[in-house]
Amino acid sequence: MRLHHHPHVSGVSDLQTKGRTIRWARFYDIVVKLMALGQDGALRRATVEMAGVKPGDRVLDVGCGTGDLTLAAAQRAGATGQVYGIDAAPDMILVAQRKAARAGATVVFRAELIERLSFPDNSFDMVLSSLMMHHLPGDLKRRGLTEIRRVLKPGGRLFIVDFKGRTRPSHHLLTAVLAHAALDAGVQDLPGIMKEAGFVQVTTGDMPLRVIGYAAGQAPQEK
C-alpha cells in the first residue's frame, strides 16, 4: 500500500493550537483502554455502527489519535470508500501510519488542526470524533465544528463520542489521573454549539459505556 506522509509529521511542536494535545503516543492505547474500562474495542465498533458508516463513504476522523477508530471506519467504508484521520499531535500520526501499514489499510493520516482543516468544502459524507472534544476550550469547539460543517457534504453526518460531564466523583478521579481535566461540561453540552455552527437534526444519547455519550447532527441539505 502507499502511505501518505504529511510534512508536519516530522516534528512534535509544529502545530500550534489552543487545545490540549497528547504527546505520549507510545502509551496512548493503554490509556484509552483504561479510560474505556477495557471496552475500547466495543466502543469503536459501536461508534462506527451507530454513526452509520457505510460502504463507499468518504469519512474523516477528527482527533484520530493512533488511528484505531479510523481503521474501524475504513473497514466499514470498504474498498470504494475513502477514509482520513487527522490529529494535532504528529507523534500520534506516526503511530497511526504504522498501524495502517501493518493492516494493509489504505487510510490517509495527516497532522493538522480541527480549526484549520485543509480539505475542500463538501468533501465528506461522515465526520467522526471520539474522546477529543473535551480537550478543546469553548471557542475552539465552535471554530472546529464550523470547519467540520464546511467540509461535510450537504446532508453529511457528524457523530461525536465523548465523556459526559458532571459524572460521579470516581469518574472525575479516573479522568484526572489520566491527565484529563475535571469535566464540568460534557458531550451533552455540545448540541447548542453544534446548532450555532449550523448543524441540524442534532441528537444526543448514550454509548454502551455509561460515562460516555454521543452527540450527532447533519449538515444542512443546502449550504
Nearest to 213 by CA among 46, 34, 30: 46
Q: How many CB atoms lie within 10 A of CB 102?
A: 9
Q: Are 175 and 167 in contact (CB under 8 A)?
A: no
Q: Are 111 and 96 in contact (CB under 8 A)?
A: no
CA torsion angle for 50, 51, 57, 63 (degrees, to 10)?
-130
Q: What b/e sequence results for 148-180 when a residue is b if at least 16 CB atoms lie within 10 Å of its CB, and e otherwise?
A: bbbbbbeebbbbbbbbbbebeeebbebbeeeeb
Residue 131: DSSP 8-state? S
Residues 135-175 have pLDDT tens digits of: 888 899 999 999 999 999 999 999 999 988 755 444 444 54
Nearest to 88 by CA among 61, 121, 60, 64: 64
For residue 100 the three cell numbers come to 495502517
For residue 158 the three cell numbers come to 457528524
Place of cell 492505547: 29
Q: Is the pTM of this model over 0.75?
A: yes
> What pLDDT was estimated at residue 223?
62
For residue 221 the three cell numbers come to 441539505
* Domains of the chain, residue spans: 7-218
Rounded to an integer, what distance in angstroms lies between the CA atom of residue 199 and that of residue 184?
24
> What pLDDT was estimated at residue 208?
86
Rounded to an integer, what distance in angstroms lies between the CA atom of residue 156 and that of residue 218?
6
Residues 35-50 have pLDDT tens digits of: 555 556 688 899 999 9
> What pLDDT was estimated at residue 6?
36
> What pLDDT was estimated at residue 185?
66
Rounded to an integer, what distance in angstroms lies between the CA atom of residue 115 and that of residue 20?
13
Q: What percent of the chain has pLDDT over 70?
A: 72
> What pLDDT was estimated at residue 21?
45
Q: For the purposes of burial, counting CB atoms within 10 Å of the CB of 140, is it exposed (0-12), middle (13-18) or buried (19 or more)? A: middle
CATH number of the 7-218 domain: 3.40.50.150
> What pLDDT was estimated at residue 15?
54
- Give the chain's largest Cα–Cα span: 46
What residue ranges of the chain have pLDDT lower than 50? 1-14, 18-25, 168-173, 175-182
Place of cell 489499510: 105
